[in-house]
Amino acid sequence: MKKRTGEILQILDDMYGTEISTFLHAENAGQLLIATMLSAQCTDARVNLVTKDLFVKYPDMQAFADADLKELEEDIRSTGFYHNKAKNIIGCAKMLCEKYGGEVPHTVEELTELPGVGRKTANVVRGNIFHDPSIVVDTHVKRIAYRLKLTEETDPVKVEFDLMKVLPRDHWILINLHLITFGRETCLARNPKCEVCRLQSYCREYRQRMKEKEKKTNAKK
């Protein structure tokens, strides 16, 4: 690991700690899988509101597999894209029941064979439930990893593999938790709070903003 990368991780550790947790409320792998599927284009807070009742109504994978499509759509409507999400959840649950006895498998290959499950969702479950070192690339991780020069890629899968090369395995799942929080609080997509950012000296976005500010200042002289 490069000294520069280690310094970035140390700052993030100091800011947010090193305890691994998840923003989505779930008691087991199946619940986290469903919650993560629902979180696409939806806030974690909204998903948690929905799953609070959803997991009571559908207590296991067999219940989801047997769910009425229209009824499930109404149950999850507020998470958005509920037609596709309901269809994928039922399809996913049926495959889990038929192929794995209702249990969630461990590997990326097995998980991504399930309807509606991509690498991001698979890695959330692997990292948070099974504690298999996994890197979850969401919009915050993709944006901030690029700004901090931890990758030159923008495709999520390529970003994932770049981060696997430069980060120690004990930070693979942790980097997602850190950068989500950092992205929500400081490193915003459109108007990052560069002036209060502890990582500004490592950031290409900050340097670009400073150059533009300098150009404007010189143009006024």
Active centre residues (catalytic): 120, 138
Between CA 151 and CA 25 the distance in angstroms is: 30
Helices (H) and strands (E) in the chain, counts: 12, 0
Distance, CA of 144 to CA of 30 (rounded, Å): 29
Task: Please give the structure tokens belonging to residue 169.
Answer: 């395995």
Q: Whats the size of the chain, residue-wise? A: 221
Angle subtended at Cα 31 by Cα 26 and Cα 36, rounded to the nearest 5 degrees: 85
Largest CA distance in the chain: 73
User: What is the identity of the amino acid at 82?
Assistant: Y
Alpha-carbon distance of 41 to 185, in angstroms, equals 19
Residues 6+ apart with CB under 8 A from 88: 37, 115, 116, 117
